[in-house]
Amino acid sequence: MNFEILDKKNIWHPFTPLEGALEPLFVESAQGVYLNLKDGRRIIDVVSSWWVNIHGHSNLFIAEAIANQAKKLEHVIFAGFTHEPAIRLSENLLSILPKNQSKIFFSDNGSTAVEVALKMAIQFWHNQGIKNKKKIIAIEGAYHGDTFGSMSVGERSAFTTAFSPYLFEVEFIDFPADQNKEKIIRDFERKLQTSEIGIFIYEPLVQGAAGMRMYPPEILDQMISAAQHYGVICIADEVFTGFGRTGKLFASDHLKTQPDIIAVSKGITGGFLPLGVTSCSQKIIDAFKSAETSKTFFHGHSYTANPLACAAANASFELLMRNECRGNIQRISESHLQFVSKIKSHKAIKNSRALGTILAIELQADGGTSYFSEIRKKIYPFFLERNILLRPLGNVIYVLPPYVITNDELEIVYISIEEFLDQLAEK
Ligand SMILES: *Cc1c(COP(=O)(O)O)cnc(C)c1O
């Protein structure tokens, strides 16, 4: 079988034009931070395979947990039935999520976790017969997923143009930063005072897809406090930031306030299987606590709480809780910060920043953070030639490796980045 030809003939890859795209790289196996290609190359995966991998590829502990679960119970309908992996996972998650979270709802991925969060919050108002709280506030530049609800609460861009007539209206607040802090809070409060706002959704501290844009916890704390003062339901989209990415278990752990609803996915299974979780506080639950069908939450997916995904998540949780893993997160965080202070005044750099295991370098190049910026087309092959997988977001190079990456491997990546910056500055 000629796999390369069949791939091109049969398969429609995501975020990939059907003409003119680079041939996809054929991965035969993967171990730790390395992808082993069919042509013999070993590539360091410092984007954690779209931000999902946290303990390294093909981790044996997680692989065995899945295999053992598969021999016992592979899947079962989750309405009217339950099972141990899901119950264990609910306990595990509630033990580390912000203290006010009291129930766990399962779905399949980050977008569905956000859809569930939005539907819970919308029905929260509906179940109480409150009709004027129809508006949602999101943050400019937000990305919450690719389904219609999650697209609606995200930034309108070239990615959403074709669908814009079908997206519901959302009010966007400017991206918060130290410089516009007072104005943001004022604008935000003005919107809240109209009493039409029912929901506030945000990516805590880091907007991933927008180019790893970071903002200070103090501003977000003020926004959440203000929103909750007006009774607005706050949804933290921790799909990307959860499970240690920002240095703490959740980005919300950097804050004094606590969200009413949290969406998580990506790192939850260690990057093995798709799983989404939406957690909520007792306040949300109270609006649904009724035997009336009109108050029931009618949402569910065929693979809800899939036992294999739950088993993977429980194994991943166990690894995440070990001192070794927490030490790795700490080590990567410090290493990133050191690298930022080393390169921050480089001529080719507009801004460099780090939070936890996330390093982001914004280049001086034109085209901004646009996915279609020209510089993007240079960055990707430059690093691939050096056996490093970096997928820039426009003019932003970012590194967010699996937590098992060693200092030596990090150093290889840093050196290549410096080499790239020097080449850029020479031009
Ligand atoms: C990736 C991401 C999503 C969507 O998750 P999928 O599993 O890709 O559907 C939602 N929100 C944030 C913040 C993300 O980074």
> What phi and psi values does residue 363 have, to the nearest 5 degrees?
-85, 155
- Distance, in Å, from the CA atom of 276 to the CA atom of 377, rounded to the nearest integer, reads 32
Domain ends where: 320, 349, 378? 320
Please, what is the end-to-end C-alpha distance for the chain in angstroms? 45
State how beta strands 233-237 and 197-202 pair: parallel
Ligand 1 atom nearest to 274, measured from its CA: 7
Nearest CA to ligand 1 atom 5: 110
* Number of domains, the chain: 2
Q: Are residues 233 and 374 in the same domain?
A: no
Reduced to 3 states (helix: H, G, I; strand: E, B; else coil), residue 85 is helix
Q: Are residues 287 and 226 in the same domain?
A: yes
| Beta carbons of 296 and 288 less than 8 angstroms apart | yes
**Nearest CA, atom 8, ligand 1:** 110
- 3-state SS class at 398: strand
- Biggest CA–CA distance in the chain, Å, is 69
Q: Is 63 exposed, middle or buried (0-12, 13-18, 19+ CB in 10 A)?
A: middle
Return the ligand 1 atom nearest residue 237 CA: 13
Cα 157 to ligand 1 centre (Å)? 16
Q: 305: closest CA among 115, 145, 144, 104?
A: 104
Q: Is 414 found in the same domain as 355?
A: yes
CA 110–ligand 1 middle distance (angstroms): 4
Contact at 8 Å (CB) between 273 and 70?
Answer: no
Closest CA to 108 of 284, 249, 243, 308: 308
| Distances in whole angstroms, Cα of residue 382 to Cα of each of 101, 376, 413 | 44, 10, 12
Residue to mutate (ligand 1; options 15, 50, 114; most atoms within 8 A of CB):
114
**pLDDT value of position 178:** 84
Distances from the Cα of 58 to the Cαs of 65, 66, 111, 268, 273, in angstroms?
12, 11, 25, 15, 12
Ligand 1 pocket list (CB less than 6 A): 109-111, 114, 143-146, 203, 208-209, 237, 239-240, 265
Say what the pLDDT of residue 300 is. 97
- Residue 21 DSSP class: P
Q: Whose CA is nearest to atom 6 of ligand 1?
A: 110
- 105 forms beta bridges with 278
Within this chain, do residues 25 and 123 fall inside the same structural domain, yes or no? no
User: For ligand 1, what atom is nearest to the CA of residue 238?
Assistant: 13
What would the pLDDT profile of 207-266 be if each residue is shown by its tens digit?
A: 999 999 999 999 999 999 999 999 999 999 999 999 999 999 999 999 999 999 999 999
**Paired tokens of 315:** 């194994």
CATH number of the domain to which 7 belongs: 3.90.1150.10
Considering the domain architecture, whether residues 112 and 12 belong to the same structural domain is answered as: no
Are 89 and 155 found together in one domain? Answer: yes
This prediction has a pTM of: 0.97
Ligand 1 nearest-atom number relative to CA 207: 13
Contact 279, 105 (CB under 8 A): yes
Quick one: pLDDT at residue 377?
A: 84
Asked if 114 contacts 279 with a C-beta cutoff of 8 angstroms, the reply is no
Domain end among 320, 345, 373: 320
Domain match, 381 and 418 both: yes
Q: Which two tokens stand for residue 199?
A: 């929901």
**215 in the same domain as 109:** yes
pLDDT band at residue 374 using 50, 70 and 90 as cut-offs: confident
Q: Which of 150, 240, 261 to mutate to test the pocket of ligand 1 (most atoms within 8 A of CB)?
A: 240
pLDDT of residue 365: 77
Q: What is the DSSP string of 214-267?
A: E--HHHHHHHHHHHHHTTPEEEEE-TTTTTTTTSSSSGGGGSSS--SEEEE-GG
SS3 122: helix
With contact defined as beta carbons under 8 Å apart, do 26 and 37 qualify? yes
pLDDT at 367: 56
Structural domain boundaries, residue 96: 63-320
What is the overall mean pLDDT for the chain?
A: 96
Count CB-CB contacts under 10 A for residue 120: 25
Q: Are residues 110 and 219 in the same domain?
A: yes
**Residue 211 sits in a domain of what CATH number?**
3.40.640.10
Q: What is the pLDDT of residues 284-317, one digit of tens each?
A: 999 999 999 999 999 999 999 999 999 999 999 9
Report how far residue 206's alpha carbon sits from residue 240's, in angstroms, rounded to the nearest whole number: 9
Is 80 exceeded by the pLDDT of residue 5? yes
- Which residues, listed in sequence order, are joined to residue 42 by a DSSP beta bridge? 36
The single-letter code of the amino acid at 350 is K
Residue 370 pLDDT greater than 80, yes or no: no
Q: Is 150 helix (H, G, I), strand (E, B) or coil?
A: helix
- Residue 270 and residue 316 in contact, taking contact as beta carbons nearer than 8 Å: yes
Helix (H/G/I), strand (E/B), else coil: 152: helix
Q: 360 and 301 in one domain? A: no
Token pair belonging to 392 = 């820039």
Query: Which of 320, 341, 363 lies at the terminal end of a domain, its last residue?
Result: 320
pLDDT at 376: 81
Same domain, 221 and 341: no
Give 278 Cα–ligand 1 centroid separation in angstroms: 13
> What are the CA-CA distances from residue 264 to residues 97, 203, 410 (Å)?
10, 11, 27
Q: What is the CA radius of gyration of the chain?
A: 22
Same domain, 344 and 410: yes
Residue 19 C-beta-side C-alpha neighbours within 13 Å = 0
